[in-house]
A and B are shown apart, each in its own frame.
Chain A
Amino acid sequence: MMKESSYRTGVTPVWCPGCGSFALLNALTGIVLPNLGTPGHQVFIVSGIGCSSRIPAYINAYGFNSLHGRAVLIAQGAKLANPDLTVVAIGGDGDFFSIGAGHLPHAVRRNVNITCIMVNNFVYALTKGQTSPTTPYLRRGEGPFLSLQFYPPVDPVLDMVSYSVSTGASFIAQGITADVPHLGWLIQEAIKHRGFSFINVLTPCVTFEPPQFFKTIREKASYLKEGEPVELPDSSREQPWLHDSGNITLALKLAQTPVLEKPHIGIIFRGKES
């Protein structure tokens, strides 16, 4: 258990016990901000609307819980007007990859120095269990999802890397709430990257997902290490290669690994800074 951080406000989170958002809160207030040593008044946390987007109220930094899908806009505007701020945008998979998805390719190409953290719980939780663009196909009865997934889900990491192909910009990573220290390290790296960064955080929703769903992800998770061979799922016919986050072609190839077969945890792509 992490000790209470001075970066926490006195507000008690509304999240269900066991919600993955606690891990993000702990990573930010217990690791990232203390390690970076940035005083709270120089940090601006902007969120969208959703369960995870309640987070600004719990962090002792400037915070704004904005509109569904629009955190990335408020964050860029703030950074452009006050470049001294450390600006972090936080939201759900509905925020970033559905209603606000149109903003992402532009954020990548502009390469404004902000950090986006997508709390990907594979479901619309706040609205009580509808499918999100990242919800996998599940058979009827496999989970309490309210609506059924008719279309193939998107893989946010793959799509984000592909947005970087033309400009070579941005920093794209995948973290997991089951490993808070590693998540904290990833977020620090993202903040230190002088340009746009995006972290897809694999997160459980204990209320609207079958428990085995996140358990499987956690078990299959594989850590990326620079210069070491990447692990590939059994279904892959590729030869493992040595991980090089500076290489967009390898990043694309890596990102094409289906996330549920082999969730790669680490820095997928580290593009050019702005």
Chain B
Amino acid sequence: MRDRLTIGIAGAGGDGVVVLGSLLQRLAASQGYFSQMPRYYGPQIRGGASGVKLSLDTTRASVSGDTVDIMVCFNWEKYAELEQELPLGINTVLFYDNAPPKKGINLPERSFQVGFSEISKELTGTTAAKNIVALGLLERILALPENLSKGATAQDHASALLERNGLALNAGKRLLLEFPFAELKLSPPWDASVKVVLHGNAAVAQGAIRSGCRAFFGYPITPASEIMQEMQERLNHGNGAFLQAEDEIAAVGLALGASLTGAKSMTATTGPGLDLMTEMIGLASGAEIPVVIVDVQRCGPATGIPSKSEQSDLNHAIYGGHGDAPRVVIAAYDVEGCYRLLIESFNISEYYQTPVILLSDQWLGQTTVAIDGNFLTRDYSVCQRRRPGGEYQEQYRRYELTEDSISPMAFAGDEGLVYQATGLTHNEKGRPSFDFATQQRMHEKRWQKLAPLRGKDELVEVFGTEEARRGIVAFGSSAQFVLKTVEDLGLQHRLKVCIPELIHPLPDKLASFVGSLEKLLVVEMNYSAQLHHYLRSQLDLPSDTETYARAGGLAFTRKELSGPMTKLAR
């Protein structure tokens, strides 16, 4: 019996790899198992490589080990493309369909050729149910009952699929009966409550609805499109405004228009879309229009590797655009954070009347996790815009200089508060101004109003003992790999880890974390060490500061992180 188990599945698009992974994940979740399942896919639409790496766990969802315990391979050629994501270990138990692999791939000792396709063809007339045959085999090995239906959500489609393929499923269960695979059995889950299954993109959309978002405009782009699709379903039935825009300039422009009438408005994209949105983000900053922009980062520049993760939009998020345009940048590092921080992004955007960019990434956005669903039903405070009261009749000044620099905002349509605003430098009434003093004052207003955000300690997570003088700063999904590696190396008492969710403006808690260190390591997934440069520009870093920064395209492995971490701890 074991507490965690990692299953790799690889094949060609159309082999049912993701369906198999998802069914297993759902079955396990309905028994109470936690899990995490990143998806790997290439640029082709059909017939490209497709893989998943499902890590089941009895106590929590955390990133998987580097190698897999069980591997199911439907297609060796495609596996070769995914080898870096799904490396076989010497102890891996391998099940593969059809022909043995070509040279170059070393089969582990326990490798079994299982005719998944053949069995499917025999029983159902086509090879399409080969993934269900494999599911049967895995279900038996892991001792997972197959009654999907109980409690778990959105299972109808999955149950129907299993029902239709009952023969294939049962045949799978009877395979290799002579091998008990006892060491692959999972201990019972820590608690048997059903776990919810979702990915970061779904969490973002659900968070948006939770915070009362009423307007979403987007343009399709991998790996952010799931957010748009889910928002379309949720907003379409008279619940709000939704449009698939003609481009990302339009998406954010439509959102600003909706926001000016008072609707909580957002859009979601990735790097190339963020590029197109840049001018509008400056307008939102200058004219103080709330809007939330989610950037599910992928490898750049240009089209880069569209289906793979990177953290290289950080500079753009913080600095992108001309003319000193302050904005808030937040980064989620896990799925729960995608939900909670989307609500927080709206709160900040609405309260401070500023654009907020929420950074996610492909790994976070598209990896499905099975976790405790409590965070979905917890209470969250939801902020509203500050609105002008009766005192303003006749004298309303849209950009009134108040003590905290936040001016009450009328919505287009409000009686008695009519105002005209502009992206030009403007005075308190919103009238264009070409005067230096006004330009200076309005900059002060827009920057100073964000200053209190620095005190948001709850948006900075610190792990480890406070006394430690060696620490790591990491953000976004990379932080999960950092935490796991520290733990696996047993370095929790020597190293502390800081994960800023609020990135810009730079939070005080992050500053004091860095200030407490003698040695610092900054870990990030972009070639030019953008986070490190940002920190350096704002803080005195310890003289002993190192970075581990590399391009994206492959998730961090514990093996590669253990080098710099061991060095840090020494």
Interface residues in chain A, defined as those with a beta carbon under 8 Å from any beta carbon in chain B: 9, 11, 39-42, 44-46, 49, 54, 56-57, 59-67, 70, 73-82, 84-85, 102-103, 106, 110
Contacts and interface: CB of A to CB of B under 8 A. Distances in A.
Contact of B215 (A66, A74, A77, A110): A77
Contacts of B240: 81
Given A41-B416, A75-B257, A78-B261, A64 B287 contact: yes
Nearest to A82: B261
Contact of B257 (A40, A49, A59, A77): A77
A178 B216 CA distance: 42
A49 B423 CA distance: 9
Interface in B403-441: 411-424, 431-432
Contact of B265 (A39, A77, A110): A77
A62 B412 contact: yes
Nearest to A112: B243
B323 to A, nearest CB: 13
Given A41-B417, A67-B280, A81-B263, A57 B254 contact: no
Given A41-B413, A41-B416, A73-B249, A80 B421 contact: no
A77 to B, nearest CB: 3
B491 interface: no
Contact of A81 (B215, B247, B283, B432): B215
Contacts of B243: 76, 80, 110
A62 B418 CA distance: 5
Residue among A45, A57, A65, A77 with most chain B CB within 10 A: A77
Contacts of B263: 81-82
Contacts of A39: 415
Interface in B243-271: 243, 245-247, 249-250, 253-263, 265
A27 to B, nearest CB: 18
B504 interface: no
Contacts of B308: none
Contacts of A77: 215, 217, 241, 253-260, 265
A37 B279 CA distance: 36
A102 B276 CA distance: 14
A46 to B, nearest CB: 7
B413 A67 contact: no
B385 interface: no
A81 B258 contact: yes
Contacts of A9: 420
Contact of B279 (A59, A67, A82): A67
B214 interface: yes
Contact of B420 (A41, A56, A73, A74): A56
Given A40-B418, A81-B265, A73 B254 contact: yes
5 contacts: A46-B257, A76-B254, A81-B258, A81-B263, A103-B246
A39 B415 CA distance: 9
A60 B418 contact: yes
Interface of B: 214-215, 217, 240-241, 243, 245-247, 249-250, 253-263, 265, 279-280, 283, 287, 411-424, 431-432
Contact of B246 (A44, A45, A56, A102): A102
Residue among A9, A49, A60, A73 with most chain B CB within 10 A: A73
A67 B424 CA distance: 9
Given A64-B422, A65-B423, A11 B413 contact: no
A62 B422 CA distance: 11
A85 B261 contact: yes
Nearest to A104: B246
Contacts of B413: 41-42, 44, 62, 82, 84-85
A70 B261 CA distance: 17
The 3 closest A-B pairs by CB, nearest first: A77-B257, A73-B253, A63-B420
Given A64-B287, A77-B258, A81-B259, 15 more contacts: A42-B413, A45-B420, A49-B423, A57-B431, A66-B423, A73-B250, A73-B254, A73-B257, A77-B241, A77-B254, A78-B258, A81-B261, A81-B265, A85-B413, A103-B246
A74 B423 contact: no
A132 B421 CA distance: 27
A57 B422 contact: yes
A100 to B, nearest CB: 9
Residue among A49, A106, A110 with most chain B CB within 10 A: A106
A13 to B, nearest CB: 11
Contacts of A81: 214-215, 240-241, 257-259, 261-263, 265
A45 B257 CA distance: 11
A103 B257 CA distance: 15
A78 B250 contact: no
Nearest to B261: A82
Contacts of A46: 257
B420 A78 contact: no
Contact of A65 (B250, B279, B418, B422): B422
A271 B214 CA distance: 30
A66 B258 contact: no
A255 to B, nearest CB: 23
B247 A62 contact: no
Contacts of A61: 418
A259 B71 CA distance: 70
B427 to A, nearest CB: 11
Residue among B240, B246, B411 with most chain A CB within 10 A: B246
A70 B424 CA distance: 15
Residue among B241, B260, B412 with most chain A CB within 10 A: B412
B140 to A, nearest CB: 53
Contact of A70 (B259, B280, B421): B280
A80 B417 contact: no
Given A42-B413, A67-B280, A59 B420 contact: yes
Residue among A11, A42, A76 with most chain B CB within 10 A: A76
Contact of B250 (A40, A56, A106): A106
Given A62-B412, A102-B247, A67 B423 contact: yes
A108 to B, nearest CB: 11
Given A67-B279, A67-B283, A74 B422 contact: no
A82 B262 contact: yes
B415 to A, nearest CB: 5
Contacts of A64: 260, 287, 412, 420-422
B462 to A, nearest CB: 40
A49 B419 CA distance: 18
B352 to A, nearest CB: 19
A84 B414 CA distance: 11
Nearest to B253: A73
A132 B280 CA distance: 23
Contacts of B419: 62-63
A189 to B, nearest CB: 23
Contacts of B431: 11, 57
Contacts of A106: 245-246, 250
A80 B246 contact: no
A116 to B, nearest CB: 13
B249 A80 contact: no
Nearest to B419: A62
Contacts of A84: 413
Contacts of A65: 420-424, 432
Contacts of A66: 253, 256, 283, 423
